[in-house]
Amino acid sequence: MDSLLSMEEEESSPWSPALSFCFWFGFAFFVIKSCICRRKKPHQEAKTNMASSTIRAVEKILSYRFKDKSLLEEALTHSSCYNNNNNGESFRSYQRLEFVGDTVLGLALSKYLYMEYPSLDPGQLSPLHKANISNEKLARVAVRHHLDSYIRHNIRDFPLKVQKFADAVNQEDDMVLYGSVKAPKILADIVESLAAAIYVDLDFDLQKLWVIFMDLLKPIVTPEVLQQQPHPVTTLYDQCQKQGREVDIKNTSIGAKNIASVYVDGAFFASDSSDDMDTARRNAAEQALLKLSKSMPTDIGRLDFSFGLNKSFEIEEAKQKLHEVCQKKRWDSPRYSIEKEEGPSNDKKYVCSVRIATVNGDLFMVGEEKSRVKKAENSAASCLIRALLDSDII
């Protein structure tokens, strides 16, 4: 309730607090209703019982003045907010508008992307579309513009959830696509229902709606941003593939807690928990990526040299050959490390890695599992030579 209360404190008229305080209606409703209805213009079907200062504040945020204020009121009313006055009337909740808003924003955005990016193909347009009007994105829009405090609802823990989300959003960069806290769905719903309310109020003019609403959605996600921020789970899988490592993310739930655990080459690597499995997976993947980036050279991604490498095809005396390559190139000598050592003493298995510092950054490669350290090192060297050949570095 904090958000509603804090909003009401700003009101100046003595009527206002009761007006938009949806569960106070038992007593105040008749007085308020009669005074509003008398002022109501004949063409307006629905009465508005939202404080006029609230309406003005939201109109200011939207940079749009509603001809029919009841549309705005409907857009801000959650289904939990019922009207317990004596004649059993209930408020209209935003659900119908939200349904329209979802479609309308999608259509307006499709049109915009189609016009703005003539060279993008559907495969590129689709993620842009998703990123721009995802629930996450729209919830961020709601929080940035403080729309959450104008929602009429009767949900006990809503303000707390919004606060948690808002705190996370406030620490983010403007262009963050995937946050660490799950976005409360109502926030995105409200943005959609407001879009629909404007659309209906504009007599269903899509172009005008987009002109008004685009400002609210800014910053709009661009193809460049999207490319810089692939989903952490996708990035993790890509990175591991490049490094020849196997990755798996397992879901488990304990009560309401969802836990995602990342396993790399069969060994536990990182985990995170959240109310929501997608968030847990995203956070766990981010931790795993951080860990990978600390143990691996940062240039590994850019060189992209182990993709699709067949490690079984091994170059003989690769260690010696790699040493010669380094001398010729005036690189430091390769450094080998044991990455994995497993099994009983009479049947040990080793995986080794090799690292070379070059002027373009470190090169790093993990070899195949072998029964001897020497063989495992040779395998790593072999893989690295082939990668260097493949990427025309030697």
Ligand X SMILES: *[C@@H]1O[C@H](CO)[C@@H](O)[C@H](O)[C@H]1NC(C)=O
Choice between 71 and 133, CB closer to ligand X? 133
Report if residue 253 touches ligand X, rule: CB under 6 A.
Answer: no
Q: Contact between 221 and ligand X (CB under 6 A)?
A: yes
Q: x/- site string to ligand X, residues 33 to 72, per CB under 6 A?
A: ----------------------------------------
Binding region for ligand X (CB under 6 A) out of 90-98, 172-180, 274-282, 356-364: 274-282
Q: How far is the CB of 209 from ligand X (least distance, A)?
A: 13
Q: Report yes or no: 337 and 352 within 8 Å, Cβ to Cβ.
A: yes
Rounded to the nearest whole angstrom, what is the least distance from the CB of residue 222 to ligand X in the complex? 4
94 near 187, Cβ under 8 Å?
no
> For residue 254, what are the β-bridge partners?
257
Query: Do 276 and 263 contact (CB within 8 A), yes or no?
Result: no
Q: Which of 25, 70, 66 is nearest to 44 (CA)?
A: 70
For ligand X, which residue of 28, 100, 220, 315 counts as binding (CB under 6 A)? 220
Q: Is the separation of the CB atoms in 106 and 195 below 8 Å?
A: no
Q: Which two tokens stand for residue 241?
A: 């593939």
Q: Is 266 helix (H, G, I), strand (E, B) or coil?
A: coil
Output the residue with the shortest Cβ distance to ligand X.
Answer: 132
User: Which residue matches tokens 């705005």?
Assistant: 72
Window of 21-29, 162-170, 267-275, 308-316 that interacts with ligand X by CB under 6 A: 308-316
* Residue 196 vs residues 20, 49, 51, 58: alpha-carbon distances, Å: 21, 20, 21, 15
- Is 139 a binding residue for ligand X by CB under 6 A? The answer is no
* Site residue total, ligand X (CB under 6 A): 18
**CB 106 to ligand X: min, Å:** 9
Which of positions 90-109 make contact with ligand X (CB under 6 A)? 109
For ligand X, the binding residue among 217, 288, 300, 354 (CB under 6 A) is 217
Phi first, then psi, for residue 52 (nearest 5°) are -65, -30
Decide whether 200 or 217 has the Cβ nearer to ligand X: 217
Question: Measuring CA to CA, which residue among 296, 314, 305, 355 is closest to residue 331?
Answer: 355
CB 100, min distance to ligand X, A: 17
Does position 259 bind ligand X by CB under 6 A? no
Residue 333 binding ligand X, by CB under 6 A: no
Q: How many CA atoms, within 13 angstroms, populate the side-chain half-sphere of residue 374?
A: 3
Query: Could you say whether residue 128 binds ligand X (CB under 6 A)?
Result: yes
Per the document, the length of the chain is: 394
The radius of gyration of the chain from alpha carbons, rounded to an integer in Å, stands at 29
Among positions 13, 228, 251, 253, the unique one binding ligand X when judged by CB under 6 A:
251
Q: Is 277 in the site for ligand X (CB under 6 A)?
A: yes
Stretch that binds ligand X, among 42-50, 61-69, 234-242, 305-313 (CB under 6 A): 305-313
Using CA atoms, how far apart are residues 208 and 231, in angstroms rounded to an integer?
33
Q: Please, which residues have CB within 8 angstroms of residue 91's CB and are 6 or more apart in sequence?
A: 22, 74, 77, 81, 82, 83, 152
Binding site for ligand X (CB under 6 A): 109, 113, 116, 128, 132-133, 217, 220-223, 251, 277-278, 281, 310, 312-313
